[in-house]
Structure 1
């Protein structure tokens, strides 16, 4: 058994720094202290630290937000179009929970602490379920985008008794050879240039897949400085920016978990709850046709497409009617 650091458990009582919009500061709790977590790889973990944010008043039903690969539990920092009164994530009406994933680098037990122990998306869902149990949550509506969308599928398969309905944005049910290939190239860059340079290249590879030809033609044409193409400057900036806040071991660990998640058609057909799957018309990482075709295997799925030139990242930078569509589905 691998024992992990065991800091004091966070209190669930109201905190004096809680925000007027229902936001709580990031909190931490240590789970699996008395009963270890059995991982899909066959190893067990004890004392798993989970860092999380909540929004709104605690109750037995909640909306669970699942963040993307380099995202965090601080939903207010990256999804303001979705969080707020009258929006899909409304702290005045709902209890909203978002936790940093196992193996991440934003407070939850990290990839560096896990060492060489491989983890899976279902492992992440089991940790999330333990957190919800700790918070007294008995039923959830799940919303996830990008890696969070893949993780939402893991929740649907791992916790069918807990999930009431789910919204999956810009994500297929399983990684294609194309997506695995992009992640393989990114991991190869990290392996070839450890210490930060490889992570910057990995981010640049990812950023090319997060947008589209049209998007970059509109936003990164021309030169930012004499002799330096705007796209070159942009990609170098994105690499530096990620290096300042992320961990290369986390990048490797999480992308491997994403690539390994390969539910069968039969498993997808076993999902019985209502699911809204959102494709993005110009997404080159997870093409809309792939999102639609895999979601169609679910008996109670609804498909909606965001028409945008901005590729995979359109759910963040060009949401258009998406918040309204998601709000109506989550609370319909």
Structure 2
């Protein structure tokens, strides 16, 4: 396999590793912290390989306490929730630092401060495969580091699939879960899109393939009606949609690692819990589908919810497809608040 590269620019300026959990003072900008976990005993990955001294980069909001709200980010997201989900984070919102202790960590295998593929062992000369369950077990170690014993989980897109992994791996920790725009397992359609993206990366390593992978993904993150409403006409002499896709390809190339992209999409594709496993979950769960989502159609998201004995399903009506949870949340904050408080 042709060597894959890291990004030239990190997503967020990193602080030095900090093993002392902290919080932002009033008026202070939320800061990235880095915990070192699995120092005394290794994390055993599902592939059978042990990993010691794992870095997990994270942000916290609010006053530390034993019960927290854990936010799980999307595929190319970071732990800086204040940068990408202002509709849900803030005073009076579902993730309220004045009331709750909110935590978000960059996943194991990510490239925003946590241990990525280059930091992990290889298997057969290639990056060791990661699973969403590996990521949940790493996240559990971070919660122990922070003194957190119970969590409410809120995850969207990949974060929603990771929430399913938490429900299966750490049922003793999770009080409630909110899963937004995510299925219980990937369909052939979703796996096919990721396969095409990884093929582009491997065919053109060094950045060009990652740009194409992002373009493929962006087409699945919106809907035809969304593009018709926002990307018609010309922009700088080319079709607006062409300019849009090139812009997002360049933007991701500047901040993301193609090895992480391969690892994380592979972990999502490999996550295939059985109906029996899902029916055994007893955690109260809110599952939200998106009416125009072409990546994870609402019928597919609802089918996952139907397997959870204590789940309720709601649907966000938007023309903007999968990305509606970020760009057109509508009643989503109200739905999430009511569920977490209820």
Residue 19 of structure 1, CA deviation: 4.6
Residue 10 of structure 1, CA deviation: 2.6
2:116 corresponding residue in structure 1: 110
Residue 29 of structure 1, CA deviation: 1.1
Which of the residues 138, 150, 166 maps onto 2:149? 138
User: Is this contact kept in 1: 2:61–2:101, CA < 8 A?
Assistant: yes
User: Is this contact kept in 2: 1:272–1:300, CA < 8 A?
Assistant: yes
Residue 12 of structure 1, CA deviation: 2.3
User: Is this contact kept in 2: 1:63–1:96, CA < 8 A?
Assistant: yes
Which of the residues 11, 27, 31 maps onto 2:20? 11
**C-alpha distance in structure 2 between counterparts of 1:22 and 1:252, whole Å:** 35
Secondary structure at 2:315 match in 1: strand
2:13 corresponding residue in structure 1: none
Residue 42, structure 1, aligned to residue 53, structure 2 = no
1:154 corresponding residue in structure 2: 165
Residue 288, structure 1, aligned to residue 294, structure 2 = no
Residue 199 of structure 1, CA deviation: 0.1
**C-alpha distance in structure 2 between counterparts of 1:292 and 1:13, whole Å:** 38
Secondary structure at 2:255 match in 1: coil
Secondary structure at 1:244 match in 2: helix
Secondary structure at 2:92 match in 1: coil
Residue 9 of structure 1, CA deviation: 4.2
Which of the residues 180, 186, 193 maps onto 1:175? 186
RMSD: 1.2
Secondary structure at 1:52 match in 2: strand
Residue 24 of structure 1, CA deviation: 3.7
Secondary structure at 1:296 match in 2: helix
**C-alpha distance in structure 2 between counterparts of 1:254 and 1:157, whole Å:** 19
**C-alpha distance in structure 2 between counterparts of 1:19 and 1:40, whole Å:** 39
User: Is this contact kept in 1: 2:291–2:317, CA < 8 A?
Assistant: yes
1:51 corresponding residue in structure 2: 57
**C-alpha distance in structure 2 between counterparts of 1:9 and 1:223, whole Å:** 48
Aligned residues: 322
User: Is this contact kept in 2: 1:60–1:137, CA < 8 A?
Assistant: yes
| CA displacement, residues 131-178 of structure 1 (integer Å, 9 cap, x when unaligned) | 001101010000000000000000000000000010000000000000
Secondary structure at 1:283 match in 2: coil
Q: So what's the TM-score if we normalise by structure 1? A: 0.95
**C-alpha distance in structure 1 between counterparts of 2:156 and 2:332, whole Å:** 12
Residue 277 of structure 1, CA deviation: 0.3
- State the 4+ residue runs in structure 1 displaced beyond 4 angstroms: none
User: Is this contact kept in 2: 1:22–1:57, CA < 8 A?
Assistant: no
Say if 1:315 and 1:22 are closer, same or farther in 2 by CA, change over 3 A.
farther
1:187 corresponding residue in structure 2: 198
Residue 23 of structure 1, CA deviation: 6.1
Residue 300, structure 1, aligned to residue 313, structure 2 = no
Secondary structure at 1:154 match in 2: helix
Residue 13 of structure 1, CA deviation: 4.5
Residue 331 of structure 1, CA deviation: 1.3
**C-alpha distance in structure 2 between counterparts of 1:12 and 1:258, whole Å:** 30
**C-alpha distance in structure 2 between counterparts of 1:330 and 1:166, whole Å:** 8
2:131 corresponding residue in structure 1: 120
Say if 1:255 and 1:158 are closer, same or farther in 2 by CA, change over 3 A.
same
**C-alpha distance in structure 2 between counterparts of 1:213 and 1:265, whole Å:** 32
User: Is this contact kept in 2: 1:76–1:83, CA < 8 A?
Assistant: yes
**C-alpha distance in structure 1 between counterparts of 2:68 and 2:29, whole Å:** 14
1:90 corresponding residue in structure 2: 96
User: Is this contact kept in 1: 2:65–2:148, CA < 8 A?
Assistant: yes
Say if 1:13 and 1:121 are closer, same or farther in 2 by CA, change over 3 A.
closer
Q: So what's the TM-score if we normalise by structure 2? A: 0.92
| CA displacement, residues 241-295 of structure 1 (integer Å, 9 cap, x when unaligned) | 0000001000000000000000000000000011000000000000000000111
